[in-house]
Amino acid sequence: MAARLWCVVPAAGRGTRVGGPLPKQYLPVAGRPLIEHTLERLAAHPSIAGLMVVVAEGDDIWPTLAVPTAKPVLIAVGGAERCDSVLAGLHALPDDVGDEDFVLVHDAARPCVRAADIANLIERAGAMDGGLLGAPLRDTLKRADERQCSQATEPRDRRWRAFTPQMFRREQLVAALRAAAAAGVTVSDEAMAMERMGFAPLLVEGAEDNIKVTTATDFALAEFLLDRIHSKDALA
C-alpha cells in the first residue's frame, strides 16, 4: 500500500519541566537532537507520506537540523498551547490531503514510538472514526489533597493513559479543535477535542515505552530505550 498519511508533529513547546536554555526537542539524546530521532522514526514508516513539523515562532534551531528522508518535511508556526500548534499544522497541510483523509498527530517529544504500534493504530482506528495509542493504567490511582496526602483511591478499571500518535479525519479534527478553542477549553490531546464533539476515539494498546520525554531524567531513559529498540531492529 502506498504511503498516504501525513503526520503533524507538534514541536513548538518550550520544555519548561526540563528547564534549561533550549527547548527539550533540541536537547541531545544519544548524540542527536531528540526531535531528529522522532522524525526519522516517523519518516521511515511505510504508511507515512510526509511530516508537518510545527515549530515556535522565531525558532532558529530547526533550520540547522538534519532529517535524512526523501519524504516531504514541511513546517508551520505553532501557538501558545499544544492544541494551537496542532491546529496550525492541520491548516498548513498540502491541498492534496482531503477533508476526509486521516491524519496522524505525534508529539516531537516521543522518540521511542514503535513502528508496529503505528501500523496497528492505522489499521484499527482507521476502521472506526479514529483513535489513539494508549495503555491501561497499571498502578493504583490516588487523589491528593493540598498537603499532598492521599485523600482517596480512584477506580482504576477502564482508565487509560493517552499516548500519541492519535489519528483522526482532517476536517473533523479541525472542527473539533476549533470548537474547543471557541469554548475556551484547552484540550490536552486530539482525542479530548473529539470526545467533546460526541466521538468515541478507539483506544489502541501500545508499548508503554512510548514515553513522552518530560523531565531531565527522561533523557537517560529515552537513550536506553532507543538503543534497545534499535538493537531489536524494531524499526523494520
- The contact mask relative to ligand CTP for 99-118 (x = CB under 6 A, - = no) is --------xxx---------
Q: Which stretch binds ligand CTP (CB under 6 A): 13-21, 67-75, 197-205, 217-225?
A: 13-21
Cell of 113: 514510538
Residue 25 near ligand CTP by CB under 6 A: yes
- CA distances (Å), 127 to each of 28, 69, 121, 201, 203, in order? 37, 29, 10, 11, 13
How far apart are alpha carbons 198 and 129 in whole angstroms? Answer: 11
Q: Nearest-CA neighbor of 160 among 190, 196, 197, 133?
A: 133
Q: State which residue has the least CB distance to ligand CTP.
A: 13
- Binding ligand CTP (rule: CB under 6 A), the pick from 3, 20, 46, 80 is 80
Residue 166 near ligand CTP by CB under 6 A: no
Supply the DSSP string of 104-135, one letter for each residue. EE--TT-TT--HHHHHHHHHHHTTTT-EEEEE
CB of 61 to ligand CTP, least distance (A): 12
- Binding ligand CTP (rule: CB under 6 A), the pick from 40, 65, 81, 216 is 81
Query: Which residues of this chain interact with Mg ion, rule CB under 5 A?
Result: 13
